[in-house]
Amino acid sequence: MRELFTKGMARNIYYGGSLFFILVFLGLTFDTTARIPERAHVEALTESVARGKEVWEEYNCIGCHTLLGEGAYFAPELGNVFDRFGGSREAIKAFIRSRPEQGIPGRRSMPKFDMSEADLDALVDFLEWTSKIRRARDWPPNIHG
């Protein structure tokens, strides 16, 4: 084994390693973008779903809740809320409309929201769309979020 490590050897390792990892990065990027259509449930994107996302942001729901693992951990995960309520749009809307003083078991102090019926419908559409995204590794790990 040679005891001498030359500048040329170091340069070759640097450029070879850089090229290798650039190719790996490009390959993974291509693979990810090729899989998005089958996972994202884009055929169900509507104006109402897009408005629901705006309502989600307007009322800062992510300040307390997580959605597919992203957000705050104070309140339950909402990526599977549609499944948790048995697919009932009315049950979700009733829960959002309810007041903290009504004593719903397990409910923390969710603020009182005075959403219009159209905003509430759009938010539920967004949550329904989110529940149908094909999630990797079955997130969240349990039905309760």
The CATH number of whichever domain residue 98 belongs to comes to 1.10.760.10
- Cα-based angle 91, 136, 52 (whole degrees, multiple of 5): 40
Q: Looking at the structure, tell me whether residues 70 and 15 fall in a common domain.
A: no
| Per-residue pLDDT, 117 | 93
Per the model's pLDDT, the better-predicted residue between 109 and 124 turns out to be 124
What pLDDT score was predicted for residue 136?
A: 45
Considering the domain boundaries, does residue 109 fall inside one? yes
**Residue 81 pLDDT more than 90?**
no
56-70 average pLDDT score: 89
**Mean pLDDT computed over 74-86:** 85
In whole angstroms, what is the distance from residue 64 CA to residue 135 CA?
21
3-state helix, strand, coil in the chain (%, to 5): 60, 5, 35
Write out the residue range of the structural domain in which residue 83 sits: 42-138
Please check whether residues 63 and 1 belong to one and the same domain: no
| Mean pLDDT for the stretch of residues 110-122 | 87
Same domain membership, residue 46 and residue 36: no
Mean pLDDT of 23-31: 97
Model's pTM, two decimal places?
0.71
Structural domains in the chain (count): 2
User: 26 and 49, same structural domain?
Assistant: no
| DSSP tag of 78 | -
> Does one domain contain both 23 and 33?
yes
29 & 6 share domain: yes
82-110 pLDDT, tens digit per residue, is: 888 888 999 989 888 876 666 666 656 67
User: Does residue 39 or residue 76 have the better pLDDT?
Assistant: 76
Same domain, 32 and 89: no
d(CA 60, CA 72): 11
Listed in sequence order, the residues at least 6 apart from 61 whose beta carbon sits closer than 8 Å to its beta carbon are 67, 71, 78
Pair 110, 52 in one domain: yes
Is 18 found in the same domain as 7?
yes
Distance CA 115, CA 35 (A): 36
Residues 93, 36 share a domain: no
| Tens of pLDDT, residues 125-143 | 999 988 887 664 566 666 6
